[in-house]
A and B are shown apart, each in its own frame.
Chain A
Amino acid sequence: MACPPAAESPPARQPSVKVILASADVQRVVDRIAHQILEKTQGAAETVLLGIPTRGAPLARRLAARISTFEDVAVPVGVLDITLYRDDLRRNATRAIGPTQLPPGGIDGKRVILVDDVLFSGRTVRAALDALNDVGRPASVQLAVLVDRGHRELPIRADYVGKNIPTSLAESVKVTLAETDGADGVKLYGGIAS
């Protein structure tokens, strides 16, 4: 006896994709954040940029490069892996941990600017603050993000924001960078296509 035919699956809804920032826009936004950092920190003295993997790390390096182009100051750059400080560590399969690289001068007494691609719930930043606590004692900590999409679950805000994107929780924001993904861009996926 033949198997009954499989029920027709409803036609898949095309996920809507909206380009928020194109490649050239990402470059302009990074330039603006670099200028804002210089302005707000009076020349970025005693400042360290720490990127949060994966995409925070290349962003931090770009910011440092732009700052040195604009004002000829070398800002030390590092990477801060926060895997072991995440609050959802136990809810998922074991995550691979990445490297933490602090600049040679360390972070004690410095102004540390954490750099990440997307600011969402704020939990990553909380984990980064905990991780920071274990590697040194900075004089102050600031936060720079390429995109702020809202929906904070913790009392955390960014000092430097590349682009505010109002989103619904059903949508997802994807940042791509040349270093990690081949091309720069910010796209908004899902939600109701308008």
Chain B
Amino acid sequence: MIRHLLSGADLDAATATRILDTAAEMATVAGREVKKLPALRGRTVVNLFYEDSTRTRISFEAAAKRLSADVINFSAKGSSVAKGESLKDTALTLQAMGADAVVVRHPASGAANRLAEWVDGSVVNAGDGTHEHPTQALLDAYTMRSRLGRLAGLSVAVVGDVLHSRVARSNVLLLSTLGAKVTLVGPPTLIPVDWATRAATANTAGQAPDISVCYDLDAVLPTSDVVMMLRVQRERMSDSYFPSAREYARRYGLDGQRMRRLPEHAIVMHPGPMNRGMEITPEVADSARSTIVEQVTNGVSVRMAVLYLLLGGNNA
């Protein structure tokens, strides 16, 4: 079993499937009168959040508490970080307090990997800059599997600001491991160049690419089983990547009309928080195809599974 969960690439198909299966069992706890399991009694989980977050932090907190772990919440605001303490010193402090697992969110890409070198406990990456967010990819995979019954062979369109999206990166890595076909859709300025060239090279060489890239949303819709809309991350944009919000919404926003062109069974996902009216219209977000609220519920089960598999045994 793995010790840290830093990247979607840390998981092979067997481990990922094991997490999803465990999450399915964890989900049954939510329906019980006593929503608690004793598996992590006496273990300490620290939520180390250098970036604002609602659902991820609450989700990890709920997951750890349902497994009876002690949870310490740390947010950069109102801590010694405001006085200039470095990530390493904060990590060593947590270490000294005996944290068994550190759940970290940080604006710098790679922060979770650095942290894993400094602490003895397990590190779970809850989003580092524009790099990775593996538990989001796991909960997305779990949601797809529970709605559509399988992952292998699914056509998944990941639409929008792929360049700044750690969710997209982790999803591409995990979903291709699990046998889904991922297509990245967005304006050329928001598709990472290395992925675009990789897809193009494979195309010209006549090989089946592990990911494909398409700049036209309408062309992808009729053959997609899953459409995953990404948030346009204005706060990470230092350049103008598209002319205007209205033009972006017209070309890459998912509205009711576009949604009706999807196959009957297709689902619409969004990792949240949404910019309603920008990448997704309220009609779509609140439709029966939308799994947005389900994703939040599944997030707790998946994070319980991850914490249990990292901390449950003596594999530290």
Inter-subunit contact A84/B315 (CB<8 Å): no
A170 within 8 A of partner (CB): no
Known: A99-B25, A134-B32, A135-B32. A94 touches B38 (CB 8 A): no
**A107 CB to nearest B CB, Å:** 11
On chain A, the residues within 8 Å of B28 by CB distance are 99-100
> A89 near B313 (CB under 8 angstroms)?
yes
Residues from 263 to 315 in B contacting A, C-beta threshold 8 Å? 308-309, 312-315
Asked whether any CB of chain B lies closer than 8 Å to the CB of A12, the reply is no
Q: Does A98 contact B (CB under 8 A)?
A: yes
Tell me which residues across on chain B come within 8 A of A91, comparing CB atoms: 314
B308 contacts A94, CB within 8 Å? yes
Is the beta-carbon distance between B25 and A97 smaller than 8 angstroms?
A: yes
**Which residues from chain B contact A84 at a C-beta distance below 8 Å?**
37-39, 308, 312
Closest residue of chain A to B24 (Cβ to Cβ) is: A99
Q: CB within 8 Å of B: which of A72-108?
A: 81, 84-85, 89-100
Shortest CB distance B130–A (Å): 31
What string of 1s and 0s marks CB contacts (under 8 Å) between A99-130 and chain B? 11000000000000000000000000000001
A90 partner, pick from B22, B26, B314, beta carbons under 8 A: B314
B251 on the A face (CB < 8 A): no
Q: A136 in the interface, Cβ–Cβ < 8 Å?
A: yes
Which residues of the other chain, A, contact B32 by a CB distance below 8 angstroms? 134-135
Cβ-based interface call for B18 (8 A) = yes
Q: Is the CB of B38 within 8 A of A130?
A: yes
Size bin of chain B's contact surface: 20 to 34
Chain B residues whose CB sits within 8 angstroms of the CB of A134 once the complex forms: 32-34, 36-37
Q: Smallest CB–CB gap between A79 and chain B, Å?
A: 11
B1 A93 Cβ-Cβ under 8 A? yes
Chain B residues numbered 1-52 whose CB sits less than 8 Å from any CB in chain A: 1, 18, 21-22, 25-26, 28, 32-34, 36-39
For the complex formed, measure the closest distance between the CB of A101 and the CB atoms of chain B, giving whole angstroms: 9
- A133–B36 Cα gap in the complex (Å)? 11
Given A84-B39, A89-B39, A100-B28, A94 and B34 touching (CB < 8 A)?
no
Would you call A85 and B38 a contact (CB within 8 A)? yes
- Are A135 and B38 in touch, CB under 8 angstroms? no
Check A97 against B22 for contact (C-beta < 8 Å). yes
CB pair B33–A93 under 8 Å, yes or no, is no
> Per-residue CB proximity of B199-239 to A under 8 Å, as 1/0?
00000000000000000000000000000000000000000
> B312 contacts A95, CB within 8 Å?
yes
**Given the complex, which residues of B lie within 8 Å of A94, measured CB to CB?**
1, 308-309, 312-313, 315
Q: How far is the CA of A85 from the CA of B41 in the complex (A)?
A: 10
How many angstroms from the CA of A99 to the CA of B39 in the assembled complex? 15
Given known pairs A94-B1, A97-B22, A99-B25, the reply for A135 and B34 (CB within 8 Å) is yes
Give 6 pairs: A residue, B residue, CB < 8 Å, sorted on A.
A84-B312, A85-B38, A89-B39, A100-B28, A134-B36, A135-B33
Contacts A92-B313, A92-B314 known; 9 new A-B pairs at CB < 8 A: A89-B312, A89-B313, A90-B312, A93-B1, A94-B1, A98-B25, A99-B25, A134-B36, A135-B34
7 shortest A-B CB distances, which residue pairs? A94-B313, A84-B39, A134-B34, A94-B312, A93-B313, A84-B37, A97-B25
A residues within 8 Å of B by Cβ? 81, 84-85, 89-100, 130, 133-136
